[in-house]
């Protein structure tokens, strides 16, 4: 299971690098999720990833870090369901309208999370 956590870290890093190079990718992704109730589909994904991380944490080098991210993912899924698309639309719209340097900061955070996953696994 720790190998899958490492793979998830690699995916986060690749995503972050893509956003660093072309911030427009994040903007298009946000536009995609804002249409209709698509954002609600991300709640089960967040729950599944969170539960997986909670189960995988015991096999990782830094289990408390992976447990923390698992709890955050489960809470994210719950928040998505609580806020629904109406509560998330303004937040996503604000991020979409952010200047490129700020989106690049988000990209660096995404890369850092990927590095943490790879190291903690």
Q: CB–CB of 92/33 below 8 Å?
A: yes
Average pLDDT over residues 26-38: 88
* 96-105 pLDDT, tens digit each: 999 999 999 9
For the segment 86-96, the average pLDDT, to the nearest whole number, is 87
Count of Cβ atoms closer than 10 Å to residue 102 Cβ: 12
pLDDT for position 84: 82
Average pLDDT of every residue of the chain: 93
pLDDT > 70 in the chain, percent: 100
d(CA 67, CA 8): 14
Q: How confident is the model at residue 36 (pLDDT cuts 50, 70, 90)?
A: confident
Q: 4-15, pLDDT tens digit by residue?
A: 999 999 999 999
The whole-angstrom separation of Cα 80 and Cα 52 is 18
Q: What is the pTM of this model?
A: 0.88
Q: Which two tokens stand for residue 75?
A: 């809470």
Confidence check: pLDDT of 85 > 80: no
């Amino acid at each position: 299971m720790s190998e899958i956590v490492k793979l998830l870290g690699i995916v986060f890093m690749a995503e972050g690098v893509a956003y660093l190079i072309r911030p427009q990718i994040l903007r298009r992704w946000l536009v995609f999720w804002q249409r209709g109730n698509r954002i609600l589909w991300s709640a089960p994904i967040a729950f599944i990833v969170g539960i997986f991380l909670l189960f995988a944490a015991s096999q990782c080098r830094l289990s408390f870090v992976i447990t923390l991210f698992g709890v955050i993912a489960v809470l994210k899924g719950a928040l998505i369901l609580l806020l629904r698309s109406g509560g998330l639309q303004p937040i996503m719209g604000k991020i979409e309208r952010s200047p490129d340097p700020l989106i690049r900061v988000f990209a660096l955070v995404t890369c850092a999370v990927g590095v943490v996953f790879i190291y903690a696994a």
